[in-house]
Structure 1
Amino acid sequence: MLSCQVAAQDAGKIHQKAIMVDTHGDILYNQIQSGIDIGKLQTTGNFDLVRAKQGGLDAQIFSIWCDEKGGFDLANRQIDSLYALIKRYPSQIALVSDARQLENAVKQNKLAALIGVEGGHMIESDLGKLEALAKRGMIYLTLTWNNSTPWASSAAEETKGKITKPGLNDFGKSVVKKLNDLGVLVDLSHVGEQTFYDAIQASSKPILVSHSCAYAINPVPRNLKDEQIKAVGKNGGVISINFYSGFLDATYAQKQQAFLTKYKDELKMLSDKYGRSKAIDTLIFNHLREAEAIKPNIEKVVDHINHVVKLIGIDHVGIGADFDGAESFPQGMNSVADFPKVTEALLKRGYSEADIQKILGGNFVKLLKANKGK
């Protein structure tokens, strides 16, 4: 018992000392839909400023997300909501767009807020709109979400055979070049395999994979195959591991389906009342113990980190939890307040303090410097 307590104390010290960066959180879309104030402690969702402080989170990349029906205007509405949050809580959170600003915010004991745009459809095939988002603080652009754009194919649509000419076209390559010129990170989560390799080849700077896992452990289209992981290493980029149960654990999808089938009548009733997404959340809440049991534990996150480290080394892995972007995360990982558990799990698996500092945020800060030049 004493050794476990000592380990937890050591993990706590290491965690507080490190710069903790989460490279992907789907927070803002939910905020504008619900109208909640994430500056205050919330009983729903996975993020607010109170729990971020509890979890030792130093920098959060706020994902600007919408499906294929949304675009540039909705992206700007979400950025407006982040600006408003910062204006309400200037002593707790600051907008940053480069590594120097990030480190200064941490020194001032503020959460460093960064902006990542999740889906190239939001630039509406217009380099001027891309530049406008960069001026508002965008530090990465995910080239696609699940939907493809006219210039880049997504993993979801490539694997379903919907794309006749997968990859980047000439305009897509000009998007990558413009991102490089602006110092905005090229993010390759969600993109199709051909788009991935085309973008790696087109980019003159190291890329980010903001929230993905290893295909060798769980073969779903959103995860990276070993050759893709090796390509990121060769490029000098960083892969941030996603915490979504369905990407971490190959057995989760079957367990989840069995759970939903067991309660199909209740799910239909809730769906008719709330819509399917909220219905699933409500169903999980109504049967929390059973729903928790089908989730993987935090060790699965470390398994994916280990896989990347074995292939390309400790300098190319980070954390991109995808909180507020999915219905299920590892057992005990209920919000950003639980990030210290990741440090404890890494320490137990033999990672050194220096390695843990790289994984938690050091690698991302270095990547940001490589793209921004500061």
Structure 2
Amino acid sequence: MVSAQEALELHRQAVVIDLHNDVLSESVMRGKNIAKSIRGGRTDLPRLKSGGVDVQFFSVWCDGKKKHPFAYANQEIDALYQLIKENSDKMLLATTVEEIKRGIAEHKLVAMIGVEGGHMLADNLANIDSLYRRGVRYVTLTWNNSTHWASSAADESRHKIKQKGLSDFGRQVIQRMNQLGMIVDLSHVGEQTFYDVLKICKKPVLVSHSDAYGLNPHYRNLKDQQIKAVAQNGGVIGVNFYSDFLDPNYRKKIASLYAQYVSKADTIPLSVDKKFDKLPAQAKQALRPPLALVIDHIDYLVKMAGIDHVGIGADFDGMESTPIGLDDVQDYPKLTEALLNRGYAPKDIRKILGENVLRVIQAQEN
């Protein structure tokens, strides 16, 4: 067994990049100052520092119900800009690998921006250019809701959409992103959209926060052929820490505990997260899978795609339940320790923690 101190030393030497965090919508847009330690939530600047995070992609997100999603995206970016301005001694915004390296050398948290959901483009190609100028470096083409031009995994799996895949406008979106050097993110997209994109995408993609379907057949996870296709494209899959994506028994456990503690007669259909919210603390704790299950998904992805195509996209502040030991962003060193104890070489752990993602970012610039 490797000691926690040995793991921490490796963790501090590595470039640690997390591809997906929802703290902007969960905390910042609700008036919380994450420059200080905050109660509730899983992310703030002190905990990011403690967790050894070098580069954090901040997710710009809203559901499909906003009347003016593009304007709201800009409001979220404004909020991040203000946070950076007020804490310029602790963090900076990066849009290139060179800026990332400068921020790390200055011992600052490097902030990067990813837009989660193509609905925030408001069906306007010019908005892609606008967001790029503001620092956005990836767009997740859909969220759970489909756009007019790309179908989501949620809608495809529930057969709620007539036209699967990319439309002609969707193909224009991909081409424009490639021209700008904006990364295409395939988390949340349906299988048809996934393959339609890879047919025309000229640069490596991200799947920023997804897991392996082979271990848990959830519609948000990647099937074996998809994993191999990402590798062939040169892209990277960010492992998600959400219990529902990791554990194939999570939903059955919630249903059982809900019947035990809340209501045997589930007369009002509730989503998984709404049922979770009604459970007592001890039941919520019992739902959490072991940290080893995260490593199992990493093992699976590495086996299918190769060590050069796996990263981290934890999804902190975008989920109700995490594995035991991964409570918040300060717990990343535990992941490094677990990888070492699973037998991963330090050079391979450094790839998973951040080097693979750096390569994808660099490829856009090329």
TM-score, scaled to structure 2: 0.95
Residue 19 of structure 2 aligns to a residue in which SS?
strand
Structure 2: how far apart are the matches of 1:63 and 1:207?
17
**What whole-Å deviation, never above 9, does each CA across 1:35-82 have from its counterpart, x for those lacking one?**
110010012101000000000011100000100012101111110110
User: Identical aligned pairs, as a percentage?
Assistant: 49
Structure 1: how far apart are the matches of 2:316 and 2:43?
7
Residue 363 of structure 1 aligns to a residue in which SS?
helix
Q: Which residue of 1 aligns with 2:54?
A: 58
Structure 1: how far apart are the matches of 2:91 and 2:276?
29
Structure 1: give runs of 5+ residues left out of the alignment: none
Number of residue pairs the alignment of both structures matches: 361
Structure 1: how far apart are the matches of 2:29 and 2:5?
39
Superposed counterparts of 1:1-374, under 5 Å: 4=1, 6-70=2-66, 71-264=69-262, 283=278, 287-373=280-366
Structure 2: how far apart are the matches of 1:341 and 1:313?
22
Structure 1: how far apart are the matches of 2:359 and 2:231?
14
**What whole-Å deviation, never above 9, does each CA across 1:190-240 have from its counterpart, x for those lacking one?**
000000000111100010000000000000110000000010010000000
Structure 2: give runs of 5+ residues left out of the alignment: none
Structure 2: how far apart are the matches of 1:145 and 1:357?
29
Structure 2: how far apart are the matches of 1:84 and 1:40?
15
Q: 1:277 to 1:97 in 2, by over 3 A?
A: farther
Deviation at 1:32, TM superposition (A): 4.1
Deviation at 1:282, TM superposition (A): 5.8
**What whole-Å deviation, never above 9, does each CA across 1:171-207 have from its counterpart, x for those lacking one?**
1011001000110000000000000000111100010
Structure 2: how far apart are the matches of 1:283 and 1:215?
28
8 Å CA contact 2:59–2:114 kept in 1: the answer is yes
**What whole-Å deviation, never above 9, does each CA across 1:244-276 have from its counterpart, x for those lacking one?**
0000010111112222333326xx9xx9xxx99
8 Å CA contact 2:251–2:272 kept in 1: the answer is no
Residue 69 of structure 1 aligns to a residue in which SS?
coil
Structure 2: how far apart are the matches of 1:84 and 1:257?
42
**What whole-Å deviation, never above 9, does each CA across 1:125-180 have from its counterpart, x for those lacking one?**
10111111111110100000011111100000011112222000111011001000
**What whole-Å deviation, never above 9, does each CA across 1:12-46 have from its counterpart, x for those lacking one?**
11100001011000111122442110010012101
Residue 83 of structure 2 aligns to a residue in which SS?
helix
Structure 2: how far apart are the matches of 1:33 and 1:261?
34
Structure 2: how far apart are the matches of 1:38 and 1:199?
36
What RMSD in Å do the two structures reach over aligned CA positions?
1.9
1:34 alignment partner AA: R
TM-score, scaled to structure 1: 0.93
Residue 354 of structure 2 aligns to a residue in which SS?
helix
